[in-house]
Structure 1
Amino acid sequence: MPATFPARLLLALIAVVPMTIHAKDTWTTPAEAYRFHKTPSYAETQAFLRRLAMASPETIRLETFGTTPEGRPMIVVIAAADGDLTPERARAAGKPIVLVQAGIHPGEIEGKDAGLMLLRDFAKMGRLPHLLEHAVLVYIPVYSVDGHENSGPYFRINQNGPEEMGFRGQSQYLNLNRDYVKADAPETRAWLTLWNTWRPDLLVDIHTTDGADYQYDLTWYAEDAHKLPPSIAAWQAKAYADDVMPRYEAFGHLASPYLEFRDGRDITKGIANFGSGPRFSTGYAAIRNRAGLLIETHMLKPYEVRVRATYDVLRSVFETVNRDPAALLKASRDADAWAATQAAKPDAALPVTFKEDPRPKPFSLKGYAFTQTASDISGDTWVRYDPTIKKTYAIQSWNDLLPDVAAPLPAAWAIPPQWTAVIERLDAHGIPYTRTTAATHVAVTQDQLSHPTWSEKPFEGHHMLKDVTITPTPTTAELPAGTVIVRADQADAVLALNLLDARAPDSMLRWGYLDAIFEPKEYGEPRVLEALAREMLAKDPSLKAAFDARLHSDPAFAASPRARLSFFFERSPWYTAQKVGAYPILRLDATALQAVLRSEPR
């Protein structure tokens, strides 16, 4: 017994202590060294990547592309064969640029550890020598760095490992995957600069899902074809369902399109589209005329399974791109050309909201048996899954969408120079524009906005404008010197439309940056309005009829002296002169745009 005890102790020490030595000597990644029980810190991640870049300078380059609110560097890795490590060299070589990002939600961190393994196997181990033969990888190992370092064991109650994980929000409590259009966060501004520098052809965003339990270790999502330029929709349809995912399953996995259940208590009621939009990663890629792929590993699978699933799906993505790089490059070029020509069409408009296609399609769900129990705690149904009993369910899918609200696409938008918050967003997104140097009068279309309602609770630091009545109004406006002119005959026309049009759900208006236009700055004393009301009633019998009708149909109005007097004030020139609800972003047709251009000094 005394002789064997030291031997056992030695074996135990060997099992733990040499991990870091092993990692340094043989390119074992930190997660592998931890046997996937842990994910490495940001410092460990950077150290591994720096060592890899130093050992492979011809294929790996490390850069800093921003700084977080807490002062941490945002790291991006560029990987390519033949030294094609700049946007210029990538384009000259005819190689598509693929932006892969991990850790935008730092608790969902498989993409970081899978990416380290993938880069190692490409650059040093010879396991994937052709991975980047015809493509360039721009890889963000951790997007939300401050959230990643705010780690602990209690951030994702639904998830099976690792032992500790990062926090969903960054240090200002913003969800970066809701920030793409409004661009509040410093991280988003840095990311937009990175995007505009590289102009990637494909964005892959890696997450971990919540929700039901089922057999798939990975689900995936691509934007509906109605949200995309035709060339991108065609490329995605062929690439993902016909190539990437079948190959991924041939590697030994199960994959499914993203599973958003219509009723989380009963998976047999079918699935629906989760409602992506430009505030999300793939939705933003769509309005930048680019392909996007959302990866969601399954939260209840062991962390190692999730990391290896991510590794294999990325490997499959690059095999697809490598096999026909020209197809992806052409899809991007054609998409930019498509976007730049839409405004020239008669009555040009593009959809900015979408609705569920009422015609479902059959879907075979590889799930598990489940039970439903009436809960005396919640008063709802408690659902429990039994992963020992596999079961296939024939259900319906309402995943397809149809266009809903369309926004007019003018020849150009005119933004008066005082609306700096909007213009700053144009700069952040890299949308080209010019400024007028002389004042000019032109015919414009201005939306008059009325009956606004806002969300009761804040969302991502804003009380969003939930609903508003929009009345397009032809008028003549004076555009002062310094007015920003955003033309729609450019590749970023769809992005500009979603940023500037009042109908777009992620526009600057909807996020609350123009709320002041709904606030009258002058008001009338009740004693003055009493006299004004009587004067107006005497002049306009129809006004009395409208007032009486409102009194009888609206008890809250009838009971409010303030509302009753406001009825008259808001119909008076004292109110309309304040231009309450006049949307300041104006639309110019082709004739008005030419008039603006002619007014500029030559």
Structure 2
Amino acid sequence: MLKIQNNICFKRIHITFVPSILISMMKGIKLTLLFLLISATAFSQNSGFLNLKYEENYTPTYDEVIEMYQKLDTHHENARLFEKGLTDCGKPLHLFVMNSEPEFDVEAIRNQGKSVLLINNGIHPGEPAGIDASLQFADDILRNNEGMAQILDNTVIIIIPVYSIGGHLNRSAYNRSGQTTPYETGFRGNYANLDLNRDFTKCDSENARSFHKIFSEWEPDIFLDTHTTNGSDHQYSITLVPPPPTLFPPVMKKFLRNTFLPMLYTEMNSREYELIPYVNYFYHDPKQGIAMSQEGPRYSSGFASMFHTIGMMTENEIYKPYADRVKSCYQFIQVLAEYTSENSKNIQELRAEGIRESMAMKEFPVAYKLDSTQFQTIEFKGYEAVDEQISPVTGLPRFGYDKSQPYTAQIKYLNTWVPTETVPVPEFYVLPQSYREVIERLNLLNIQYSRLQNDTVLEVTVDYIDEITSPAQPYNGHFYHNKVETRSEVQKIKYYRGDLVIPTRQEKIKYLLEMFEPKAEDSFFRWNFFDNILDQREYFSSYGFEENALKYLEEHPEFKAEFLKAREQNPELARNHRAQLAWIYNNSEWKEKTWKRYPVGRIFQ
């Protein structure tokens, strides 16, 4: 039978030997032994050390995935499979670490000057190409296939085998209606029915909490999340949602635009599987142009950008054979790992300089728009779109693609997002200790803060929420505030012993600004962590407030004049008894200061 020595498989048996083997077996060796021998030979030829079956449109079950990583752990001293916290289904989140030597301590690895590449798989378990590709890649690099082990000389590669374990366990042939292969896949929602690629900032799931710990511990330089898309049909097996340069400080922005992204496309296109930006339609027809996506912090790659990690997502094309999806994802992982290793020191230095630039910034963008006037021209290989194809199911016209009409065209690629609103960067945030869920998330990421030692009054800048809009139905478990209008005031507010004082000028400054500025796209406020301020705790009754209202008007003649003027100018107000009392209540000290007052105070220099 096939044996393993020194972590390298024995060479495959040459086919010219087979007849002699058959003859000897006909003379006495059982036919079953022949079958085992041939199977073992094919196994070593096609899959290396692991029994992957993506060529047969099969992706491994969760147990099979973990068993394969355990097998690699057992047979290679420079690889280790760790359990890193829990997931919503109660099973542990695993992390597979590969190094050039049996050293797995993060601090020791950083002291050696190595960069860290983190690969996340199975966040949507119906999109499993990255699961197979990462297994194949890990097997090949650990067996030093084609000299690949040298990648680990400068870079440690860490892999999350399956992120949405509950979703992966919910396996069926009917989970992913748009794809025909592989024959069975997992479910998009996790065990708590959350879309985990919308959960990175709000961090509702145990999966996200465990991920935060991994991310904070390893502080990866490069991050990849593997996906599959059922969008546009075209000639490419793989597309890329790139790290948006606009989300990074100047030195990293320049590197991404001029060096890193061109390298990815050039290197991929020199190999078997060409790469194209994710086909995000800006116009109806991709021939007229496509646009760069800018994923916010709720998404994995946007989350990574808050920590100056170069994060991206591959999107394999659902309509291509599953083996091509896996192989093209594998090729991208290989290209990314090779570049990370070859440029390890430079990438780390760029991140360090980017952090310094961010820590010195005075203004922070909280909103962006795509600039339609800026674009580059790229080659795009598509299929002609047909609006009047006849459906074989309904017999009626439908939209589709005619694969008998491939084309190659030069198209616009809109790849520049510009800030539309900025806020000044404070020196400190002051957070009341009552917001325990927020503090828990800060602790997961090792955010630095101190606590007040005594009750005290601080002069802070606070926002009032003037207007919000929210959907009628929840979005991933929350009523996300999609419109937020604010105004600011400077107030003296009493805080208590134990309240948090959070300095912004720390390495994770972008996370703090993204999460604590209420108008930022994925702030704690937008995700309902501070919704308690939107309720009015005090109120008035029309009968009970009458005496105090009259007294207030008598004691404040200027206010009374404003009230009478308002009543004169607004006939509807003049006819409504309660409305007039409400005007007095809401425009005087009777109105509670904390109603709609965002509870996070800012301290500026």
2:603 aligned residue: 588
SS for the counterpart of 1:252 is: coil
Match of 2:519 in 1: 503
* Structure 1: runs of 5 or more not aligned: 1-9, 343-347, 591-602
SS at match of 2:145: coil
Q: Which residue in the other structure is 1:353 paired with?
A: 367
Change (3 A) 1:249 1:397: closer
CA distance in structure 1 between the partners assigned to 2:456 and 2:588 by the alignment = 29
| Partners of 1:296 and 1:531 in 2: CA distance | 67
Whether the 8 Å contact between 1:23 and 1:33 is mirrored in structure 2 is: no
Q: Which amino acid aligns with 1:422?
A: V
Give RMSD over aligned pairs. Answer: 3.3
1:180 has 2:180 as partner: no
AA partner of residue 589 (structure 1)? F
Relative to structure 1, is the Cα distance of residues 31 and 534 closer, same or farther in structure 2, using a 3 angstrom cutoff?
A: farther
Describe the shift of the 1:542–1:243 C-alpha distance in structure 2 as closer, same or farther (beyond 3 A).
Answer: same
Q: Which residue of 2 aligns with 1:108?
A: 127
Q: From the superposition, tell whether residues 543 and 19 of structure 1 become closer, same or farther in structure 2 (CA, over 3 Å).
A: farther
Tell me if the contact between 1:235 and 1:327 (Cα under 8 Å) persists in the aligned partners.
no
- Partner-residue secondary structure (3-state), 2:150: coil
Matches within 5 A, 1:471-486: 471-486=487-502
User: Structure 1, residues 169-214: CA drift from partner, whole Å, max 9, x if none?
Assistant: 1111111111111111100000010111111111111111121111
1:15–1:192 Cα change, 3 Å? farther
Residue 398 of structure 2 aligns to a residue whose secondary structure is strand
Distance in 2 of aligned mates of 1:498 and 1:338? 16
Question: How far is 1:31 from its partner?
Answer: 6.5
Q: Is 2:432 aligned against 1:416?
A: yes
Q: In structure 2, how many angstroms separate the alpha carbons of the residues matched to 1:161 and 1:124?
A: 29
Secondary structure in 2 matching 1:540? helix
Check conservation: 1:339, 1:494, Cα contact below 8 A. yes
1:159 aligns with one of 165, 174, 179:
179
Separation of aligned partners in 1, 2:400 and 2:359:
51
- Which of 55, 61, 64 aligns to 1:41? It is 61
Matched, 1:89 2:114: no
- 2:190 is equivalent to residue 170 of structure 1: yes
Distance in 1 separating the partners of 2:267 and 2:374: 27
Contact 1:20–1:33 under 8 Å retained in 2: no
Q: Distance in 1 between matches of 2:141 and 2:101?
A: 13
Q: Which deviations, in whole Å up to 9, do the C-alpha atoms of 1:32-59 show, x marking residues without a partner?
A: 33634110011111111111111111x2
The 5-angstrom pairing of residues 287-298 of structure 1 reads 287-298=306-317
* Conserved 8 A contact 2:94-2:161: yes
Superposition deviation, residue 381 in structure 1 = 8.5
Name which of 109, 118, 137 aligns with 1:99. Answer: 118
Per the alignment, residue 577 of structure 1 pairs with 592
Mean Cα deviation higher: 118-127 or 348-357:
118-127
Q: CA deviation at 1:357?
A: 0.9
Alignment correspondent of 2:9: none
CA apart distance, 1:235: 3.2
Give 1:71-470 correspondences, 5 Å limit.
71-124=90-143, 126-127=145-146, 128-263=148-283, 266-342=285-361, 348-361=362-375, 362-373=377-388, 382-470=398-486
1:46-85 Cα shifts (integer Å, max 9, x gaps): 111111111111x211101122222212111000113343
Matched AA of 2:165: V
Q: CA shift at 1:531, angstroms? A: 7.4
CA contact (8 A) 2:244 2:294 kept: no
**TM-superposed deviation, 1:467:** 2.3
Unaligned runs of 5+ in 2: 1-29
State the SS of the aligned residue for 1:405. strand
In structure 1, C-alpha distance between the alignment counterparts of 2:578 and 2:188, rounded to whole Å? 45
8 A Cα contact 1:180 1:284, kept in partner: yes
* Residue 375 of structure 1, CA deviation: 9.9
AA aligned opposite 2:121 = A
Question: Is the alpha carbon distance of 1:84 and 1:547 closer, same or farther for their aligned partners in structure 2, counting shifts above 3 Å?
Answer: farther
- C-alpha displacement at 1:335, in angstroms? 2.0
Give the letter for the 1:97 counterpart: V
TM-superposition CA deviations, 1:357-390 (whole Å, max 9, x none): 1314244422111211399999x99321012221
SS in structure 1 of the partner of residue 360 of structure 2: helix
Counterparts of 1:464 and 1:163, CA distance in 2: 36
The Cα shift of 1:535 comes to 8.0
Shift of 1:254: 1.7
d(CA) in 2 for partners of 1:280, 1:509: 17
User: In percent, how many aligned pairs have the same letter?
Assistant: 26
Question: Are residues 1:67 and 2:86 paired?
Answer: yes
Aligned to 1:525: 541
**Distance verdict in 2 for CA 1:404–1:303, change over 3 Å:** same
Q: Could you tell me how far apart the structure 2 residues matched to 1:16 and 1:164 are?
A: 27
Distance change in 2, residues 1:41/1:221 (3 Å): same
Letter paired with 2:483: D
* Structure 2 counterpart SS, 1:481: coil
* Distance in 1 of aligned mates of 2:217 and 2:128: 25
SS state of the match for residue 414, structure 1? strand
Distance 1:34 1:444, change over 3 A: closer
Rounded to whole Å, the distance in 2 between the matches of 1:447 and 1:134 is 47
Residue identity opposite 2:481 in structure 1: L
- For the residue of structure 2 that corresponds to 1:334, the secondary structure is helix
Letter in 2 for 1:524: F
Residues 315 and 571 (structure 1 numbering): CA distance in 2 closer, same or farther, change over 3 Å?
Answer: same
Give the AA of the match of 1:206. T
Contact 1:355–1:401 (Cα < 8 Å) also in 2: yes
Give the Cα separation in 1 of the matches to 2:126 and 2:451: 44
What is the DSSP-based 3-state SS (H/G/I as helix, E as strand, rest coil) of the residue aligned with 2:483? Answer: strand
Residues 224 and 312 of structure 2 are in contact (CA less than 8 Å); yes or no, is this contact kept in structure 1?
yes
The whole-number CA distance in structure 1 between the counterparts of 2:179 and 2:95 is 27
Measured after TM superposition, the shift of residue 441 of structure 1 is: 2.3
